[in-house]
Structure 1
Amino acid sequence: MALSFSQVDVFSAEPLRGNPVAVVHGADDLTDEQMQAFARWTNLSETTFLLRPTTADADYRLRIFTPGGELPFAGHPTLGSAHAWLEAGGTVGGDRPDPARLVQECGAGLIELRRSAGRLAFAAPPLTESAPLTDAEHAATAHALGVDPSAILAARRLSNGPRFVAVRLATAEEVLALDPHLPEVAALAPTGLGAIGAQPAGGPDADTAIEVRVFCPGIGVPEDPITGSFNAAAAQWLTADGILPPSYVAAQGTALDRRGRVHVTTEDDAIWVGGETTTTIRGTVEL
């Protein structure tokens, strides 16, 4: 079966410096096994499949697979797949009057997206879990990251479909120096363990407020280049606690020679997570 295929670079304005997502168009007749096999073969952090929606409230339906399994929601696949759907001629359906807004149906429900300032952005889905770690979990997380427990200023379990452990360190330098024990990370965090550190004023990445790294060995990805879902969850936590302002830019991927920029904006009581999207491969795939 020959299907249209796109590969989209997400969260970077520089070619090949973002996080790629493989997108298969018109995938309604594929089986779960075919989708998982292709995701395993691409070996990208996520591969997505565009399908017809099951509700008139959505413009398209999306299924998202990692090499190790399916996710109900993920951020960079949402942006990259929306980009691919629009580029292939997708138009906003229903009676929604704003052509800059579209709605994705996925395992986490309906996700609203918008086009603004030359970028796509998604409305962060609500957190289904936000809880501090126990003392034992805090110690185990520090050990998995290879840091002293006192280096972790705060830590929480956060879920918005994917389930993360998020930790806050003092500086971007500490985040970039991490050398985690991946088997321990996989045991602690089903989807991923993310670390956040403040950027120094006047440093080389002074356009950003924080440096982020996310380790995902539990789903077959040792380190994710740029993680929209984690940044969405972290933004809801840290803006609510006053650690970060309502709008900021996060850097991610530095340790992997990427230059990810995640733009977080708070408007009308919603947190929007966006970034640049660029198609790098167009063609067909035999499945």
Structure 2
Amino acid sequence: MTTSRYLQLDVFCARAGGGNPLGVVIGADGWSDADLQRFATWTNLVETTFVLAPTTPAASYRLRIFTPAKEIPFAGHPTIGSAHAVLETGFAPARDGVLMQECAAGLLPVRVEGEGERRRLFVQAPGARVVREGVHVEPILSYLLRGIALGALPPACVEGGRRWWVAEFASEAALRSWQPEHASIGTLARETDTLGLCAFARCANGTDAGYDLVVRAFPAGVGIVEDPASGAANGLIAAWIALREPHGALARGYRVSQGREIGRDASITIRIDEPGADGRRAVWVGGQTHTVIDGRTRRLT
């Protein structure tokens, strides 16, 4: 049986072991949909991706993203990690410092900065829109956040590639020590057709700490208790901040710390462009990726 190149990566971390694991199969064009899902279920990683030949000349490659249970149109850490795998294996070169990813969310540019261990990749997050906002617009959300001092921005349901509830806490310490009711987050996710709740807090001494925002993500909608590094969720938080605070301290970008509460140390960089002709501000989510396993695999039959 023909084998395919397989990489297991650690995404959004300065060094391996601190980020979000990802499995990437290179060149699985002959696999059926059932083959792809069966393999992703077997790896039991948060996401497994499959790099395929593009269907349009504008794209460098085509990407399909699977959780252990289903295919999804977009996610941040699988996009960044897969772009790393494309470069590491020579599947496709960057053109003028950019890879163009074809996926179910459309054509997404990935900027390539640097080389080797220091290389950082940035994906332009899909355009976002605010679905609902306010702590009292959803009773379960109000229940989850009861007794918590909230930050400057109201909670909101934001959609862009994925759909999340985002909520700002008034203090980093309160967010880091928070013990949420995961069953209630699951109910919130199911009843509002979202992934769950992503909470963030600003760091009072960002220059000294090395980050400006702390993020904790609870994607109960896909059966995950807490995510160590969330590209899509961070993209939606950035879009929310850019919309509500276009001239604020974070309006052009910032650094994120995520995952320390579950034994990781993810580092994510956000960049926010100036408004374009349509008034929209592109959000770029990026960081480093490290190869942990490089081998070959075959279809599971």
> What TM-score does the superposition give when structure 2 sets the normalisation length?
0.86
Sort the Cα spacing of 1:91 and 1:35 in 2 relative to 1 into closer, same or farther, 3 A.
Answer: closer
Tell me the equivalent position of 2:92.
91
Runs of 4+ aligned residues of structure 1 deviating over 6 Å after TM superposition are: none
- Alignment match of 2:271 (pick from 257, 265, 270): 265
Tell me the equivalent position of 1:109.
106
Kindly report which structure 2 residues correspond to 1:230-269, keeping only aligned pairs within 5 A, or say none: 230-242=233-245, 244-267=250-273, 269=275
CA deviations on 1:247-287 (whole Å, 9 max, x unpaired) are: 21011111111111111112354221110111110011221
Q: Which amino acid aligns with 1:257?
A: G
CA deviations on 1:95-151 (whole Å, 9 max, x unpaired) are: xxx4311100111101101112531111121014443147241x4114235x42654
Contact 2:73 2:103 in 1 (8 A): yes
1:39 aligns with 2:40: yes
**What SS does the corresponding residue of 2:166 show, helix, strand or coil?**
strand
**What SS does the corresponding residue of 1:135 show, helix, strand or coil?**
coil
Give 5+ residue unaligned stretches, structure 1.
none
Contact 2:5 2:26 in 1 (8 A): yes
- Alignment match of 1:219 (pick from 211, 219, 222): 222
1:24 aligns with 2:30: no
Contact 1:113 1:123 in 2 (8 A): yes
Q: Distance in 2 between matches of 1:249 and 1:149?
A: 24
CA deviations on 1:165-219 (whole Å, 9 max, x unpaired) are: 111111121211222222221222232310001123179x721111101111221
Tell me the equivalent position of 1:6.
7
- Output the aligned Cα RMSD: 2.1
Q: Distance in 2 between matches of 1:171 and 1:149?
A: 10
Sort the Cα spacing of 1:261 and 1:202 in 2 relative to 1 into closer, same or farther, 3 A.
Answer: closer
Contact 1:144 1:182 in 2 (8 A): no
Q: Distance in 2 between matches of 1:11 and 1:141?
A: 29
Q: Which amino acid aligns with 2:269?
A: H
How many residues are matched? 280
Q: Distance in 2 between matches of 1:55 and 1:273?
A: 24
Sort the Cα spacing of 1:273 and 1:220 in 2 relative to 1 into closer, same or farther, 3 A.
Answer: same
Tell me the equivalent position of 1:155.
155
**What SS does the corresponding residue of 1:110 show, helix, strand or coil?**
strand
**What SS does the corresponding residue of 1:77 show, helix, strand or coil?**
helix
CA deviations on 1:68-115 (whole Å, 9 max, x unpaired) are: 32211000100000000111113348xxxx431110011110110111
> What TM-score does the superposition give when structure 1 sets the normalisation length?
0.90
Q: Distance in 1 between matches of 2:227 and 2:209?
A: 22
Tell me the equivalent position of 2:168.
168
Q: Distance in 2 between matches of 1:215 and 1:282?
A: 30
Contact 1:67 1:219 in 2 (8 A): no
Offset at residue 51 of structure 1 (A): 1.0
